[in-house]
Amino acid sequence: MPRRSFDIRDIVDEFVTRLSSLIEEDTVSRARAAVLSAFGGRVPAGVGLRASNGVAGAARSGGLAGRKRRKGPIQLCPVPGCKNRAAPVFGMVCAEHKNLSKAQIKKYREQRRARKMAGKGKAGAGRRARRKGK
């Protein structure tokens, strides 16, 4: 019996050694890929392929060093006649209209949507008909 427990300890020790070396290897390759991508270097094929956090994948595809993110369109204040930018700090209205009630703002947004849809209905039908004809 004592001989068997000694064999199990050897097996467990070998397993732990192999596992720790694999983890260390993986960590080093992920760190290398992150550093290379941060400095704009080329990440060699196969480095960091198993990264679960997406850092190496973004580095391979040039996501970190590639194109900059395109911002969305500027949103204007929904109050009729106001040409100021809307800000999330004020609930997507401008600083001048931040004290309006939410019901009033909602009404202005619905009016703007209705005008926009009415304008699209007239011009949009012709475009769709031409597209279908092609």
C-alpha–C-alpha distance, residues 50 and 23, integer Å: 12
Taking residue 14's Cβ as centre, other Cβ atoms within 10 Å add up to: 10
User: So what's the pLDDT on residue 44?
Assistant: 60
DSSP-assigned states of every residue in 25-94: HHHHHHHHHHHHHHTTPPPPTTTTTT-SSSHHHHHHHTTTTSPPPPPPPPPBPSSTT--SBPBGGGTSB-
Among 56-60, 112-116, 118-122, 123-127, the range with the most confident prediction by mean pLDDT is: 112-116
pLDDT tens-digit map of 57-76: 444 444 455 678 888 889 99
Residue 5 has pLDDT above 80, yes or no: no
Which tens digit of pLDDT belongs to each residue from 15-64?
A: 999 999 999 999 999 998 888 888 877 666 655 555 444 444 444 444 45
pLDDT given for residue 18 in this prediction: 95
